[in-house]
Amino acid sequence: MLSRVADSLYWMSRYFERADNASRVLKATYGLILNPAKFSTEERWFRAVSSLAPGSASNNVDPQRILFSLVADPEGAFSIVKCISGARENARQVREEISSEMWEHLNRLFHDVTGSELQPDDDAGAMRVVTLVREGSYRFNGITAATMNHDEAWHFIQLGKYMERACNLCVLLDAYFVVGKHADDLDWVGLLSSCAAFEAYCKACTAELKPERIANFLLLKPEFPYSVRYSMDRMHDALTAIGNLSLSRRTENVERLVGRMRSMVTYVQIGEIIAGLHKYLATIIEQCRELHAAVHELYIEYPIEVAFQN
Amino acid sequence: MITETDMSDRSGAGILPRYELNGAYDEMFSAPDHPRKQYRPLHNLLLNLGPDELRRSKNEADQSFFNQGITFTVYGNEKGTERIFPHDLLPRIITAAEWEKIERGLTQRITALNLFLKDVYHEGKIIEDGVVPGSIVYTCKHYRREMRGVKVPADVYITVVGTDLIRNPDGNFVVLEDNLRVPSGVSYMLTSRRVMKQIFPGLFQKCHVRPIEQYSQVLLSTLRSLAPEGRSEPTVVLLTPGSYNSAYFEHTYLARQMGIELVEGRDLVVHDNIVYMRTTFGLQRVDVIYRRIDDDYLDPLVFENGSALGAVGLFNAYRAGNVAFANALGTGVADDKAIYAFVPKIIRYYLDQDPILEGVETFLMSDPGQRDHVCQRLDEYVVKAVGESGGYGMLIGPHSTEQERSEFRQKIYAQPRNYIAQPTINLSTAPCFVDGIIEPRHVDLRPYILYGEKITIVPGGLTRVALRRGSLVVNSSQGGGSKDTWVLQS
C-alpha cells in the first residue's frame, strides 16, 4: 500500500476517534453541569476543556462560550466539527481505498454537522451536533468493520483509532484524578460516561463508585474497549499484522516500543501506580508519541537510503 | 425504474407537443412528429409518460449520482460544496451503420495523427516535403523540444484519445476537435450507463444497445502493452494532481475499476532513472504511468519550475526507456487547432487514403488573406485560440456583441498564429427533459479511443449537451451536461 494512503487512513481514523471522544466527554459534562455542583460548574467545564483542548485551558473558563468552542468553533483547532472535517478530508484523499459505504456515511455526517450555522449561545444546537456525532460514530465503526477487507488498510485504521483512544483516555484520567481536585459521586459517573463505561463498570464492579476501582477499570481492564489496556492490545495486534505483511521491513524498534508500552499496563497493579498517577499517565502519553514517530519513520516517511539497503 | 406498466393511458397529456425543430439536424425527428426508426421505442415511451414520472426518474438518477459521489467540487468555498454533473435522462441513439463509419473514420484519423507525432519528433519528413509548414509545427504551444528523438514504447504517442464529433445539418458526423493530451469525462460515460440501466430496463431490452462496460479492462491492457521490455508483470499507476482537481472523482473511479494504485507526485521517487512509489513495504518499481497531469507539471527539472504535482527526474527515466507515460509527452502539437486544418493532408500523406470523416473548414489567422476574409465577417465565424480547450478563449460570432468582436479583432491582429476561425455550425439537436417538458438542445459526441496493440473504440461515448436553450457550447466548464449514448447492435 502507498505510504501516503496508509498515513491518510491512520489520520482519518485518529480524527474520527478524536471527534468521538469529544462528543462523549461533552455529553457527559453537559449532563453533569445541569446538576447543582458541590463546588463550581466552572471546575467541571475546566476538566472537559483540559482534556479536550490540552494547552489551551486556562483557569478562566467562560461557561457561556465553552460548549460552542468545543463543538463548532471554526477557529478552535480541537472542535468536533474541525475533527470531522479532518477525518473527511483524509478520507477524500483515499476514496479508492475505503468502501463506498464508509465514504458515503462520513460524507453525510460531515454535511450534517457543518450544515447548520451554529450560534455561540445555541447550547441546544451544539448538543444536537454532539448527538449526531455520537450516533454517527458507532455507525461508522460498524460500517468500517463490516464493509472493508481486514487487510493492511484496516490495520492502519485500527492503529490510528486505538492510538488516539489511549492518549485521550490518559489525558481524561489526568483531568479527573490530578487536575480537578474536587470530585463527588456525580463526577465519577461523569468520568465513566465520558468513556461509555458506566454500565460496563457497574456490571463488573457494582455501582459502588470508588476512585481507585474506576482508575483500575479504565486503565487496566483488558476486556473493556474504552480502557488503555484494551487500546494497547489492539495497537499491538495491528502492528503485528502489518509487520507480518511486510516481512522485508526492519520492525524491531516498533516491536520494542509497543512491547514496552504494553508492559506498562499489563504487569502492574493499581495500588502501585495510583499515588504517582500523573507521572505514570505522562509516561504512557510520551511512549505513545515515540511509537507514533517510529511507525511513521518505518512505514511512511522512511529515508530513501534505508529503502535501498533493504 | 420506468417500465411498460407505468404507462397509464395519459396519451395527449404529453410532454412533447412543444418540440420545435430549428433547422439543425435533429437526432430524434426527421420531421415534426416523425421519429427516426432508431428512436421509435423511446418516442413511444415518451408519448405515454407524464412529466411526473420523468421527474421522479430524474430525481432517482440525480440521487444515485450524488450518493456514488459522482460530483465535482465548486471552488472558492471552504466547505467544499459538491455538485453533481448535470445529466439528461433521455439517451442519444446512434445506429449501427452510423457507428461503423465513425469507428473507421476515427481509427484512420488517430493512426495518421500518431504517425504525424512520430514524424515531427524524429525525421520531420512531412515538414521537409512541405505538407505541413514547420513554422506552424514548431510554434505550437504544446510542441515539446525535449521530445526530439525520444523513442516512445511501441511508437504509440496517443494511448487515450477523446475526439469531439458534431453532426452537420445534413446529418454527417464531422470532427470538431482532437483531444490528444489528457481527455477526461469517460467516468461520466460509464456511470451514467449504470444509472440508465436502472431507470430504463425495458428500453434497453427493446433496443439492443451495445455494451461499454469493458472500457476499464481494455484501458488496463492497453496501458500494460506500453510496459518496458522484460517487465512481464508491469506495475501500472494512475498519476493524479490530487483531490483538489475537478476530475479527481474520475481518477479514483478509474483506478478502482482497474485495480491499480492512484498516486500523486509526492508518492514517486526516481533513483538511477528508475521510478519507484513509496509503499509501506518499501519502494516498489513503477513501469507505466497513466498520467492525468499536463506535460508542464510532470517534472520540475525539465518543465514548469516549482510544480509540486509531478516528481523530480521523471522525464529522464522516461527518456531512458525505464517507464512509459500514457499519453506520451508533447502530443498537444497534434491537437493544436491550426494543425487541425492540415489533418486531411496528414491522412493523405501517411496513409494515402481520403479522410473518412470530414473536418470543419478552418481559416488560419496567420495567413493574411484568410485573416482579412474572416475579420471582415466576424459575426459569421467562430474564433478559437489554438492551444486552449474546454471552451475557453472562444468567440461565437453570431452570438457576440460588436464590442466583443472588436476586442477579438485586435487580439487576432496582435497574435495571428494564436487564432483560427471556423464557420458557425448548427450542431445537431437532441430531445432533453428540461423544466418538465421535452425540448431540443444542441449536442456533440465524444467517443473514447484506446490505442494499444490495436485501436479500440468502445461503442458509445459522452454526448455533451448545451443545456441552455439555443446555446452551442457544450463544455462542462461552460454549463454543459451529458447524456448516455446508445450505439445499437444492428
Is the pLDDT higher at B3 or at B295? B295
pLDDT of residue B3: 57
pLDDT the model gives residue B76: 44
In angstroms, rounded to a whole number, what is the distance separating the alpha carbons of residues A8 and A96? 12
Beta pairing class for B34-35 and B29-31 = antiparallel
Å from A160 to nearest chain B CA?
15
Best mutation target among B84, B260, B280 (most A Cβ atoms within 10 Å) is B280
- Position B474 scores a pLDDT of 81
The model's pLDDT over A104-155, given as tens digits with 9 standing for 90+, comes to 899 889 988 987 778 888 888 999 999 999 999 999 999 999 999 999 999 9
pLDDT at A282 over 50: yes
* A93 touches B: beta carbon within 8 Å: yes
Q: How far is A99 from chain B (nearest CA, A)?
A: 11
- Taking residues A98-107, report their average pLDDT: 89
Distance CA A245, CA A150 (A): 12
B14-28, B378-392, B444-458, range with greatest mean pLDDT: B444-458
Provide the pLDDT for residue B7. Answer: 47
- Residue A113: list chain B partners with CB under 8 A: none
Which of A2, A152, A242 shows the shortest C-beta gap to B267? A2
Q: How far apart are alpha carbons A19 and A31 in whole angstroms?
A: 18
Instruction: Name the percent of chain A lying above pLDDT 90.
Output: 63
Q: Is residue B67 less than 8 Å (CB to CB) from chain A?
A: yes
Candidate from A239-253, B61-75, B90-104 with smallest mean pLDDT: B61-75
User: pLDDT tens across B323-382, in order?
Assistant: 999 999 999 999 999 999 999 999 999 999 999 999 999 999 999 999 999 999 999 999
Q: What share of chain B is helix, strand, coil (3-state, %, to 5)?
A: 35, 25, 40
R_g over Cα of chain B: 23
Chain B residues with beta carbon closer than 8 angstroms to that of A93: 242-243
The answer to whether the peptide bond before residue B245 is cis (omega within 30 degrees of 0) is no
Name which of B35, B30, B60 is nearest B46 in CA terms. B35
Residue B245 near residue A95, CB atoms below 8 Å: no
Q: For residues A101 and B449, which has the higher predicted lDDT (pLDDT)?
A: B449
Residue with cell 474520527: A16
List chain B residues with CB under 8 Å of A96.
Answer: 252-253, 255-256, 262
Whether residue A167 contacts residue A285, with contact meaning beta carbons closer than 8 Å, is answered with: yes
Residue of B nearest to A91 (CA): B243
Angle between the B368-375 and B402-414 helix axes, to the nearest 10 degrees? 170
- Supply the pLDDT for residue B233: 93
Nearest chain A residue (CA) to B249: A95
Q: Quick one: pLDDT at residue B398?
A: 86
Question: C-alpha grid cell for residue B446?
Answer: 465524444
Please list, in sequence order, all residues whose beta carbon lies within 8 angstroms of the beta carbon of residue B443, skipping any fewer than 6 positions away. Answer: B27, B92, B427, B428, B429, B430, B463, B464, B465, B466, B474, B483
Sheet holding B363-364, edge to edge: B363-364, B419-423, B381-385, B394-396
Evaluated on CA atoms B207, B210, B215, B216, the torsion sign reads positive
pLDDT in tens, B107-142: 999 999 999 999 999 999 999 999 999 999 999 989
The cell numbers describing A295, all together, are 511507525
What mean pLDDT do residues B389-403 have? 81
Here the cell at position B410 is: 485586435
The pLDDT value recorded for residue A39 is 65
- The mean pLDDT of B215-237, rounded to a whole number, is 94
Q: Quick one: closest CA in A to B73, which residue? A: A92
Angle at the Cα of B94 from the Cα atoms of B92 and B100, rounded to 5 degrees: 150
Rounded to an integer, the average pLDDT of A173-199 is: 87
pLDDT tens per residue across span B399-408: 889 999 999 8
Query: Confidence class of residue B48 from pLDDT cuts 50, 70 and 90?
Result: confident
Quote the pLDDT of residue A61: 63
Partner-chain contact B252 A310, CB within 8 Å = no
Instruction: Specify the range with the lowest mean pLDDT, choosing from B5-9, B262-266, B366-370, B445-449.
Output: B5-9
Per-residue pLDDT for A180 more than 80? no
Residue B8: pLDDT band with limits 50, 70, 90: very low
pLDDT at B14: 62
Residue B143 has pLDDT above 90, yes or no: yes
Q: Indicate the pLDDT class of residue B12, thresholds 50, 70 and 90.
A: very low
pTM, two decimal places = 0.87
Is B77 an 8 Å CB contact of chain A? no
A281 closest CA partner among A129, A168, A135, A131: A168
**How far is it, in rounded angstroms, from Cα B479 to Cα B234?**
40
Would you give the end-to-end CA distance of chain B in angstroms? 25
pLDDT of residue B2: 64
Q: Of B354, B339, B357, B341, whose CA–CA distance to B422 is shortest?
A: B341
- Give the residue on B whose Cα is nearest the Cα of A7: B280
What nine digits make up the cell of B329? Answer: 509527452
Look at A307 and B282 and tell me if their CB atoms are within 8 Å.
yes
Closest approach of A269 to chain B, Cα-based (Å): 37
Q: Is A242 on the interface with B (CB under 8 A)?
A: yes
Domain layout of chain A by residue ranges: 3-309
CATH code linked to domain B362-423: 3.30.1490.270
Average pLDDT of B23-33? 91
Quote the minimal CA–CA distance from B279 to chain A in Å.
Answer: 4
Q: What pLDDT shows up at residue A82? A: 92
With a cut of 60, say whether residue B78 has pLDDT above it: no
Q: What percent of chain B has pLDDT over 90?
A: 64
pLDDT at B81 over 70: no
Q: What residues of chain B lie within 8 A of the CB of A100, using their CB?
A: 68-69
Mean pLDDT of chain A: 89
User: Closest to A246 (Cβ–Cβ): which among B256, B266, B280?
Assistant: B280
CB–CB of A167/A78 below 8 Å?
A: no
Taking an 8 Å cut-off on Cβ atoms, the answer to whether B280 and A96 are in contact is: no
Helices then strands, each counted (H, E), chain A: 15, 0
Stretch among A70-74, B77-81, B148-152, B359-363 having the lowest mean pLDDT: B77-81
Its ipTM equals: 0.83
The whole-number pLDDT of residue A229 equals 98
A4 touches chain B (CB under 8 A): yes
Helices (H), B208-247: 215-224
The pLDDT of residue A181 is 66
Contact across the interface for A3 and B255, Cβ inside 8 Å: no
**What is the C-alpha end-to-end distance of chain A, expressed in Å?**
17
Q: Is the pLDDT of residue A303 over 50?
A: yes
A3 Cα to chain B: minimum distance (Å): 5
